[in-house]
Amino acid sequence: MKKYVFWTSFFLLLAVSLSLIIYHELSLLYFIDITFYLASFILLFTLLTFVIQNGLFDGIFYSFRKYFESQKPSGEQEEISRLSDLLSINLGVFFLIGFSLLFVVLAGLFIYYL
């Protein structure tokens, strides 16, 4: 829970900072835009990692490794591990951060269009 609050606060402060750096002013619309970009990036990263962890690309990764292992001049073969085994990240925190940032975006849009 501490990680979730810390990283959500960090990304909100980053959105405020980027708004000041890029647009040289702080407005609700710019804050909403930048927060949406950050939330989209986090959720796309999380979903891609989720797909990789569930083994969708294991066959492709195995084929490439097998092909490039056969191209090596040495006869020594090393064990080919699955791509989903190489990537082990707890994605729950990233999902919560991304969805909480999207909630902030929706709340900001609601306030903006009042």
pLDDT digits (tens, 9 = 90+) for 5-34: 999 999 999 999 999 999 999 999 999 999
> Which of 26-35, 74-83, 88-97, 100-109 is predicted least confidently?
74-83
CB 75 within 8 A of CB 13: no
Kindly report the pTM of this predicted structure: 0.80
Which residue range(s) make up the domain with 69? 2-112
Tally of helices (H runs) and strands (E runs) in the chain = 5, 0
Question: Tell me, what's the pLDDT at 84?
Answer: 72
Q: Could you tell me the two tokens for 50? A: 């989720």
Mean pLDDT across 53-63: 81
H or E stretch covering 94? helix 92-112
Please tell me the distance from the alpha carbon of residue 90 to that of residue 49, in angstroms, as a whole number: 10
pLDDT above 70 covers a percentage of the chain that reads 93
What is the count of structural domains for the chain?
1
Q: Is the pLDDT of residue 76 over 70?
A: no
Please tell me the distance from the alpha carbon of residue 86 to that of residue 58, in angstroms, as a whole number: 10
How many other CB atoms are found less than 10 A from the CB of residue 89?
Answer: 13
Question: Tell me, what's the pLDDT at 55?
Answer: 81
